[in-house]
């Protein structure tokens, strides 16, 4: 078996640090789509909202039962990593309010070490309206989450970790990303970047090309993001991205994913799933892959673990899975190493 990080040392548990928008997902199941028309929301869309819109939407939905959980791309990834059994930390910014306390409490419950900065602004949140046909409409209020600045980071945040994972949404703040990566590299961490959104890639293409070429070791992209970055189809895009970093991953939805490191290229078949909601699928794929990488597993196993975790999350509403689902995930992963369990 080929390992990418040297020999497999089971006694050495690597730690992953993530940085991203600290958002709390607020999930509501609506009886019909009339409320979407009332609030002038496009069904299935995602819109950034300000404080006025947030108050209007919150008031209109005040009588609906709500489910809350830590959200945001990097937060989803690090929560997945800790549920898989690795130690993980998260850098972000929240407000001094109830929403911020929900983010903190649930993250700590999931075993995440928090490096949170505080703001007088309201905590970021994503209100998700789930229609009867399972289609989701997202209203994202960034609030304190987008106030994280380079000057608030310090080298000690990165000590004791081995991998640093960044969500692409933060790349709009170039100084923040440069500072974070420099601290991570000085502390000896591998840097992982999830491109997050094709429009983010298009708006920051030159900057992303520079930091990936100079600093990033692992790149995650879906086919749209890969296309925006290279102008090529998934496999060609994979080849190009792999020349800029150590490991490139291009996800192609229900068709699986491609992984490449140097001359080694692997096609990862998707896990069969009853897809209900794709929210968090890419984030949890990254969690599974980075977990495998931290355990020094071969590329193919890393990709398969990513596929297992993402294949499970699409079968639930939201990006968080309960204990029963996680027990099942751990059992599926065990079968990768024991052929007798696959029967």
Residue 136: how many other CB atoms lie within 10 Å: 18
Average pLDDT for residues 207-221, to the nearest whole number? 97
Average pLDDT for residues 67-78, to the nearest whole number? 92
Q: Which domains does the chain have, with CATH numbers?
A: 15-22+72-123+143-342 (3.40.1190.20)
pLDDT digits (tens, 9 = 90+) for 250-278: 999 889 999 999 999 999 999 988 888 77
Number of DSSP helices (H) and strands (E) in the chain, helices first: 12, 14
2: pLDDT strictly greater than 70: no
pLDDT band for position 178 (50/70/90)?
A: very high
Say what the pLDDT of residue 340 is.
Answer: 59
Yes or no: say if 26 and 126 are a contact pair by the CB < 8 Å rule: yes
pTM more than 0.75: yes
Yes or no: say if 328 and 312 are a contact pair by the CB < 8 Å rule: yes
């Amino acid at each position: 078996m080929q390992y990418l990080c040297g020999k497999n040392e089971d006694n050495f548990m690597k730690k992953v640090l993530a940085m991203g928008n600290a958002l709390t997902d607020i999930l509501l199941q609506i009886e019909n789509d009339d409320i979407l028309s009332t609030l002038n929301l496009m069904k299935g869309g995602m819109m950034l909202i300000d404080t006025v819109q947030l108050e209007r939407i919150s008031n209109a939905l005040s009588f609906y039962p709500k489910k809350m959980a830590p959200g945001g791309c990097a937060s989803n990834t690090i929560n997945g990593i800790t549920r898989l059994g690795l130690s993980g930390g998260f850098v972000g910014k929240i407000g001094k309010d109830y929403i911020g306390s929900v983010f903190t409490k649930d993250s700590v419950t999931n075993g995440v070490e928090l490096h949170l900065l505080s703001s007088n602004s309201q905590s970021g949140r994503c209100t998700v309206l789930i229609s009867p046909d399972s289609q989701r409409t997202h209203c994202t209020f960034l609030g304190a989450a987008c106030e994280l600045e380079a000057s608030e980071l310090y080298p000690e945040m990165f000590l004791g970790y081995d991998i640093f994972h960044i969500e692409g949404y933060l790349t709009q703040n170039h100084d923040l990303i440069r500072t974070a990566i420099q601290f991570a590299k000085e502390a000896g961490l591998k840097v992982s970047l999830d491109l997050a959104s094709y429009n983010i890639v298009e708006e920051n293409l030159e900057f992303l090309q520079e930091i990936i070429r100079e600093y990033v070791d692992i790149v995650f992209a879906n086919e749209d993001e890969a296309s925006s970055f290279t102008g090529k189809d998934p496999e060609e895009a994979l080849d190009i991205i792999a020349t800029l970093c150590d490991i490139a991953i291009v996800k192609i939805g229900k068709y699986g994913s491609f992984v490449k490191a140097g001359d080694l290229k692997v096609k990862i078949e998707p896990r069969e799933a009853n897809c209900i909601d794709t929210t968090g699928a890419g984030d949890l794929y990254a969690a599974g892959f980075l977990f495998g990488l931290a355990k020094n597993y071969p590329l193919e196993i890393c990709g398969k673990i990513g596929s297992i975790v993402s294949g499970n999350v699409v079968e639930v509403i939201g990006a968080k899975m309960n204990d029963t689902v996680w027990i099942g995930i751990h059992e599926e992963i065990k079968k990768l190493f024991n052929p007798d369990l696959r029967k």
